[in-house]
Amino acid sequence: MRNEIYLDNSATTPASDEVMQAMEPYWSIQYGNPSSPHLRGVAAEKTMNACRSQLGSILKVNPARLFFTGSGTEANNLALQGVANIPYFRRNPGHIITTPIEHPSVLNVIKHLEELGWSVSYLKVDGFGRVEPQEVAELLQPDTKIVSTMLVNNELGTIAPISEIGRIIEKANAARQHKIIYHVDAVQALGHVPLDISGGKVHLCTFSGHKVFGPKGIGLLYAHQQAQLRPILFGGNQEGGLRPGTENIPAIVGLTKAIQLAVENLDTNRKQLYALRQELIGGIETIPDAGINSPGDGAPHLLNASFPGLRGEVLVHFLEQKRIFVAMGAACSSKKKGVSHVLESIGLESEAIHSAIRFSLAPSLTLDQIRYVVYSLKETVEEIRNIYV
Amino acid sequence: MYPLLLIRYGELSLKGRNRKTFEDLLLTNIRSRLMGVPHGPVTKTFGRIYLETRGNWEELVARLQSVFGIVSVSPVLRRDLDLEAIQEGASLVIQDSQGSTFKVETRRPNKAFPLTSPEISHALGDHILRNFPHLTVDVHNPDLILHVELRKEGAFLYSKIIPCLGGLPAGSSGKGLLLLSGGIDSPVAGFLAMKRGVRIEGLHFYSYPFTSERSKEKVVELAALLAPYNARGSLRLWIAYFTEIQKALQKSSFPTLSITLMRRFMLRIAAKLAQREKALALITGDSLGQVASQTMESIHVINAVTSEPIYRPLIGLDKQEIINLAMKIGTYETSILPYDDCCTVFVPKNPATRPRLEQVLAAEAELDLEGLVQEALEKTELLEVNRKG
């Protein structure tokens, strides 16, 4: 085992041995391009098709409607911009409903669409980032075309009620000629919470490889028949012309293996993650003034907590000296000055935001490791607080 | 098209006895700066330097523009000592110049040439008027001047005069220790010191884990950006261990004085290091009144810890002027990367703008000054930072 405790699994995960093994032959032995007419190409195409149908059966959706992309961010872009690029919508931009706590790869695409004439409504979130599904019904307008909510929030672990929202949209769609498209960003959900997109209520769903012990540089977009997309990149005819570019076969194989393992082991992993999370919560509660920002019923791998009196960034660096890696706010926004938009949206006080730390767990961690983390955390928080009198 | 670059250096010629030393140093610096770019011999004649190009004069000029001591550079065309050949060359130079009025200036150190200077100017002027109908002569305020020099080696023709940095050759003055933070100002201060011939070494105060590893990388990057201007194209960077001092300061019962106290520690360490390393001055990025620690009162109190000379090249510059210089030098983009340095992590809410020395001494009486400075120096590491490219 590595001489470190990595609690930043929502930023990225190490590729698992199974994933590495599965990918290994596709770098230099079965290296073909699926578009090539010769045997080397045909072999690559077969591999890709096998991956796609395997993913179809794992996710219980039509494999022909699964599209490989270069990242989760790209899949979110393709989902939203792919709808907006439909010629009719280019002429008649519509209305979007989303939440203020989406990932930047959704929020910033929507900001871009606003520049193109789309209007946006944001669902209200409570102090834990939870939305009220009924509010979707209230915000619906005649020209609402897209609803986008993430299933698991990447900073808090809050789970969105996608089945209820899906039902509301389904009901509204019954009376509409132009159907509302429901997009769910499931990047943080995969492998952590049960997910069923087979019922047709979710029209677009985004996944990423490297958050579930798969390789970096691969994302996946499921698009229901009803969600007709236009490409946002132009080039060859790969992925039905929707996502040109030579297919990344090793990464596709790795992604497939990673998703297979995540879904197969979901129950066992969740049990372990809940136990770890419980241990962590219990430990943090013994630290004076510490506050848990994540909801009690959130995803099992994520825990956001604040330690007033110190700065999250400083805590990150003190813990890294003990080979414990945690995140401040969300990994994606840590490089920017300014505070997390998520923590701000849920109305957290400035002190709580600046002292917030995100722990994201992996099933391979042990209770003993979490106990060691709690011990070190306690010691470190006290040490830093003693410095900042 | 230009086989030769004429390099002018101004101020050096005033330097009497030291002239040869300065010129030799400039030649050394030019040769060192040109390393890695194909070029011919660099030679010195009559207060000018000639550099033979290899058809890449623009690339060479770009390098020369970062060599202190050079006032300007002209790309020069060479022709045989024959009027027709000179006229043909004159046409080429005019074609490569901009403007609608011109004059010809001829110098004839080689008196063997049959025509006098005014006769040559005349002949060339006629030739140009005949061949470039859009041009007219203006001897008082021409847009472009065709310079012609008749030397033993041939006729030299040029019109472009590309301004360079000026200043004194790097390393001609002596060694100075630059207090280098990750901000915008200190690299500019270092640049201006180097402009006057100071060979700088950098000193950075590193407060890990209060600041991140990235903040150190940023300072190393800034040092690399300054290195091409420095003597030998490299810069020694001292990384002083400042963590214990920061901790001690946070415990101080005079929180509003913490910046003043911190600056005094920095100067103490810098002065000791300068004495040890035989640097003749400290250099800081102070600009009067910019922040609390740069008021006259603050500078007075901070300066009181050392009798070493402190150069503050930015003292009279406005922030925007400093930013403009930073952009010109190329350090701005790196300086604004948002990694905290100790000056931003520890800023108290209300820093004193008019600290009083008695107060400061009382605050320092609480601290083990000697021990803290000693430890910081003992744990200081040295990096040799080379220019890139």
Q: pLDDT tens, B90-149? A: 999 999 999 999 999 999 988 989 999 999 999 999 999 999 999 999 999 999 999 999
> Do residues A235 and A288 share a domain?
no
From CA A328, how far away is CA A334, in angstroms rounded? Answer: 7
Band the pLDDT of A324: cuts 50, 70, 90. very high
Contacts of A388 in chain B (CB under 8 A): 250
Please enumerate residues of A whose Cβ is less than 8 A from a Cβ of B: 311, 313-314, 316-318, 320-321, 335-337, 387-389
Residue B291, min C-alpha distance to chain A (Å): 20
> Do residues A240 and A278 share a domain?
no
Pairing outcome for strands B144-151 and B101-107: parallel
- Mapped onto helix, strand or coil, the DSSP state of residue A187 is coil
> Do residues A139 and A277 share a domain?
no
Contact across the interface for B250 and A317, Cβ inside 8 Å: no
Higher local confidence (pLDDT), A88 or B55 = A88
Contact across the interface for A317 and B340, Cβ inside 8 Å: no
From CA B5, how far away is CA B70, in angstroms rounded? Answer: 12
The pLDDT, as a whole number, for residue B342 is 47
Instruction: Report the percent of chain A where pLDDT is more than 90.
Output: 89
Contact across the interface for B250 and A311, Cβ inside 8 Å: no
Q: Is B336 in CB contact (< 8 Å) with chain A?
A: no
pLDDT at A334 over 60: no
pLDDT, tens only, B234-277: 999 999 999 999 989 988 888 889 899 999 999 999 999 999 99
Q: Which residue among A311, A321, A389 places its CB closest to the CB of B251?
A: A389
Neighbours of B7 (CB within 10 A): 24
Amino acid in position B236: R
> Do residues A258 and A300 share a domain?
no
Pairing outcome for strands B48-52 and B72-79: unpaired
pLDDT, tens only, A266-292: 999 999 999 999 999 999 999 999 999
> Do residues A66 and A184 share a domain?
yes
Contact across the interface for B250 and A388, Cβ inside 8 Å: yes
Mean pLDDT within B73-87: 95
The pLDDT, as a whole number, for residue A386 is 83
The pLDDT, as a whole number, for residue A350 is 86
List strand residue ranges (DSSP E) for A241-309, in order: 291-292, 302-306
> With left for phi above 0 and alpha for psi between -120 and 50, is residue B306 left, alpha or beta?
beta
The pLDDT, as a whole number, for residue B245 is 94
pLDDT at B291 over 90: no
Neighbours of B258 (CB within 10 A): 20
> Do residues A89 and A176 share a domain?
yes
CA angle B155, B158, B163 (to 5 degrees): 140
Band the pLDDT of B341: cuts 50, 70, 90. low
> Do residues A113 and A216 share a domain?
yes
Q: Which residue among B250, B251, B340 places its CB closest to the CB of A313?
A: B340
Neighbours of B361 (CB within 10 A): 11
Q: Is B208 in CB contact (< 8 Å) with chain A?
A: yes
Q: Which residue among B209, B213, B338 places its CB closest to the CB of A314?
A: B209
Q: Which residues of chain B form CATH 3.30.2130.30?
A: 4-163
The residue from A50, A137, A331, A332 that is catalytic is A332
What is the third-level CATH fold of B174-386? Rossmann fold (3.40.50)
Residue A334, min C-alpha distance to chain B (Å): 10
| CA distances to A151, A192, B29, B178, B335 from B235, in Å | 51, 51, 14, 10, 17
Q: Indicate the average pLDDT of chain A.
A: 94
Contacts of A336 in chain B (CB under 8 A): 338
List strand residue ranges (DSSP E) for chain A, in order: 5-6, 66-69, 95-98, 119-122, 144-150, 181-185, 204-208, 219-223, 291-292, 302-306, 324-325, 327-328, 356-360
pLDDT at B319 over 80: yes
List strand residue ranges (DSSP E) for B82-159, in order: 101-107, 136-137, 144-151, 154-158
What ipTM does the predicted assembly reach? Answer: 0.70
Active site annotation includes A332: yes
Residue B222: closest CA among B372, B333, B74, B146: B333
The pLDDT, as a whole number, for residue B350 is 76
Lowest mean pLDDT among A179-183, B154-158, B256-260: B256-260
> Do residues A137 and A282 share a domain?
no
pLDDT at A224 over 80: yes
Neighbours of B271 (CB within 10 A): 19
Residues whose CB is less than 8 angstroms from the CB of residue A242 and which lie 6 or more positions away in sequence, other chains included: A67, A78, A82, A229, A230, A231
The pLDDT, as a whole number, for residue B388 is 79
> Do residues A337 and A350 share a domain?
yes
Residues whose CB is less than 8 angstroms from the CB of residue A223 and which lie 6 or more positions away in sequence, other chains included: A65, A67, A79, A82, A203, A204, A229
Contact across the interface for B209 and A320, Cβ inside 8 Å: yes
Q: Which residues of chain B form CATH 3.40.50.620?
A: 174-386
| Terminal C-alpha separation, chain B | 25
pLDDT at A331 over 60: no
From CA B233, how far away is CA A20, in angstroms rounded? Answer: 44
CATH number at residue A341: 3.90.1150.10
The pLDDT, as a whole number, for residue B210 is 86
Would you call the peptide bond into B209 cis, given omega within 30 degrees of 0 as the criterion?
yes
Domain final position from A264, A290, A318: A264
**A333: closest chain B residue by CA:** B338
Residues whose CB is less than 8 angstroms from the CB of residue B360 and which lie 6 or more positions away in sequence, other chains included: B257, B260, B261, B264, B301
Contacts of B213 in chain A (CB under 8 A): 317
> Do residues A289 and A311 share a domain?
yes
Contact across the interface for A317 and B209, Cβ inside 8 Å: yes
Instruction: Report the percent of chain B where pLDDT is more than 70.
Output: 95
Residue A376, min C-alpha distance to chain B (Å): 15
Domain final position from A264, A286, A321: A264
Band the pLDDT of A108: cuts 50, 70, 90. very high
CATH number at residue A107: 3.40.640.10
The pLDDT, as a whole number, for residue B343 is 47
* Tally of domains within chain A: 2
pLDDT, tens only, B14-68: 666 778 888 899 999 999 999 999 999 999 887 789 999 998 999 999 999 999 9
**A322: closest chain B residue by CA:** B209
From CA A88, how far away is CA B130, in angstroms rounded? Answer: 64
Note down the domain range covering A343.
5-12+266-387
- Mapped onto helix, strand or coil, the DSSP state of residue A208 is strand
From CA B6, how far away is CA A302, in angstroms rounded? Answer: 66
Contacts of A381 in chain B (CB under 8 A): none
pLDDT at A330 over 50: no
The pLDDT, as a whole number, for residue A125 is 97
Q: Which residue among B209, B246, B250 places its CB closest to the CB of A389?
A: B250
**A386: closest chain B residue by CA:** B251
Q: Environment class of residue A67 by beta-carbon count within 10 Å: exposed (0-12), middle (13-18) or buried (19+)? A: buried
Tell me the longest C-alpha to C-alpha distance in chain A: 71
> Do residues A308 and A293 share a domain?
yes
**A388: closest chain B residue by CA:** B250
> Do residues A227 and A312 share a domain?
no
Q: Indicate the average pLDDT of chain B.
A: 92
Domain final position from A248, A264, A280: A264
CATH class of the domain comprising B4-163: alpha beta
The pLDDT, as a whole number, for residue B349 is 66
